[in-house]
Amino acid sequence: MTGEIALYVHWPFCKSKCPYCDFNSHVRTGIDDARWRRALLAELDHWGTSTRGRRLVSVFFGGGTPSLMAPATAAAVLDRAALYWESAPGIEVTLEANPTSVEAGRLADFRAAGVNRASLGVQALDDAALKFLGRGHDAAEARAAVAIAAKTFARYSFDLIYARPGQSARAWERELDDAVALAGDHLSVYQLTIEHGTAFATAHARGDFAIPDEDLAGALYETTQSRLDRAGLAAYEISNHARPGGECRHNLVYWRYDDYVGIGPGAHGRLTERGQKHATRQRRAPEQWLSAVEQAGHATEERAAIPADERFEEMLMMGLRLNEGIARERFRRETGRTLEEALDQNAVVALAAGGFLVLDADGLRATAAGRQRLNAVLVRLLA
Ligand code: SF4
């Protein structure tokens, strides 16, 4: 087996559940670190055996809050990964971390374990907003944690959430000024959305708060783009901004539809096996995942070839998020068809005429206006 591969490691635990969060994250006490480490290594053995010999381009410890994991677990995962895959030059190893002082204090231990990039869940640089978002840190702690990340790692990123209740474009611009002053080579900026099944969904339905309407959310999005452009942190994906070369290599693997292994509860993977892209999925509930791995060596719930129409859909949904779009050769390799053969030409012509889409010698990409309305663009293309 040849080719590049990335590794995602899911740590499903958090100190508390944020009210907007619909990730696979859970609050537990008394986690047995050694037991979890053994299980993650067993699942890594399972996937490593069948993909041995590939080149590892990135590792991403995500969650949940993987900065709550023992640094020895990260070290053990990275050591074990090296048994199966040779590291690509400049391999990126990212750890998601929350900006509480305790976790920031452990970043040096994670660096010693082999992590070389941190992604901090700052979310806001405003105390009232952080309280509303149910975060366990205040703005001063967030700034201190970013400063520690900057001292510890050559590369770091942090997340912000905008379109919060009552947020004006002016206040958001000031907050972005603060963020730019703290930023390294990467920033992720997400619009607050109310996800089904979250505490915010209940509170929002009860009328406890309102989020900005479409016009204001659009204005806040424009503010984000122009302020971060001016700072040299242009968007390279709908919610992600970087200085040239600072793009998150791991997330590019997802958006470019490249191969990755996912281990840990609920982790997904995409793997080319015998020339055919497969979807993989591990059991989602942490305790069930753990006991399945202890019994069978892995907790795989799905390992199935992806049908051609789904590969086409997935490539469009992922690739059009990126400014660079979908390269012609990559598309043909995955789907066996050219872009012209696969796409509804009437839809392409209409979307291009509307200024939302470009199909040219390089490939297919959404314009800035198209990325802002990507769902509508996809509905038209996938109709
Ligand atoms: S810390 Fe992150 S993963 Fe955990 S509950 Fe909050 S948003 Fe979700």
Residue 323 to residue 87: CA distance in whole angstroms: 28
40 pLDDT higher than 60: yes
Distances in Å between the Cα of 252 and the Cα atoms of 15, 170, 258 are 29, 32, 8
56 pLDDT higher than 80: yes
178 pLDDT higher than 50: yes
Q: Which atom of ligand 1 is nearest to the CA of 121?
A: 2
Phi, psi of 158 (to 5 degrees): -140, 160
Beta-sheet pairing, 186-191 with 155-162: parallel
* Token pair recorded at residue 2: 């040849």
Residue 258 to residue 171: CA distance in whole angstroms: 39
Query: Whole-prediction pTM value?
Result: 0.97
Q: How far is the CA of 341 from the centre of ligand 1 (A)?
A: 42
Q: Which atom of ligand 1 is nearest to the CA of 16?
A: 5
**Please, which contacts does 35-41 make with residues 24 or more away whose CB atoms are closer than 8 Å?**
35/290, 36/69, 36/73, 36/290, 37/70, 37/72, 37/73, 37/76, 37/77, 39/289, 39/290, 39/293, 39/294, 40/9, 40/73, 40/76, 40/77, 40/263, 40/264, 41/76, 41/77, 41/80
281 pocket-lining for ligand 1 (C-beta < 6 Å) = no
Q: Which atom of ligand 1 is nearest to the CA of 17?
A: 5
Q: Which atom of ligand 1 is nearest to the CA of 63?
A: 3
Q: What is the pLDDT of the chain when averaged over all its residues? A: 96
14 pocket-lining for ligand 1 (C-beta < 6 Å) = yes
Q: How far is the CA of 273 from the centre of ligand 1 (A)?
A: 33
24 pocket-lining for ligand 1 (C-beta < 6 Å) = no
Distances in Å between the Cα of 16 and the Cα atoms of 13, 26, 264 are 9, 8, 20
Express each pLDDT in 244-290 by its tens digit.
999 999 999 999 999 999 999 999 999 999 989 999 999 999 999 99
81 pLDDT higher than 60: yes
Work out the pLDDT band at 210, boundaries 50, 70, 90.
very high
23 pocket-lining for ligand 1 (C-beta < 6 Å) = yes
67 pocket-lining for ligand 1 (C-beta < 6 Å) = no
Q: Which atom of ligand 1 is nearest to the CA of 134?
A: 6
Distances in Å between the Cα of 270 and the Cα atoms of 51, 147, 304 are 12, 35, 10
End-to-end CA distance of the chain: 36
Residue 382 to residue 249: CA distance in whole angstroms: 28
Work out the pLDDT band at 105, boundaries 50, 70, 90.
confident
18 pocket-lining for ligand 1 (C-beta < 6 Å) = yes
Residue 137 to residue 359: CA distance in whole angstroms: 45
Residue 135 to residue 23: CA distance in whole angstroms: 15
Q: How far is the CA of 17 from the centre of ligand 1 (A)?
A: 6
93, 56 contact by CB (below 8 A) = no
Secondary structure class of 249 (helix, strand, coil): helix
Q: Quick count: other Cβ atoms within 10 Å of Cβ 136?
A: 17
Secondary structure class of 203 (helix, strand, coil): helix
Q: What is the pLDDT of residue 101?
A: 75
Which protein residue's CA is at the shortest distance from atom 3 of ligand 1? 64
21 pocket-lining for ligand 1 (C-beta < 6 Å) = yes
- Tell me the helices (H) and strands (E) count for the chain, helix number first: 17, 15
Give the list of residues 6+ apart from residue 376 with CB closer than 8 angstroms, or none.
Answer: none
pLDDT, mean of residues 231-235: 98
149, 115 contact by CB (below 8 A) = no
Q: How far is the CA of 320 from the centre of ligand 1 (A)?
A: 27
Q: How far is the CA of 265 from the centre of ligand 1 (A)?
A: 15
Residue 244 to residue 234: CA distance in whole angstroms: 8
Q: How far is the CA of 383 from the centre of ligand 1 (A)?
A: 34
Express each pLDDT in 338-361 by its tens digit.
999 999 999 999 999 999 999 999
Residue 274 to residue 303: CA distance in whole angstroms: 13
Phi, psi of 297 (to 5 degrees): 85, -10
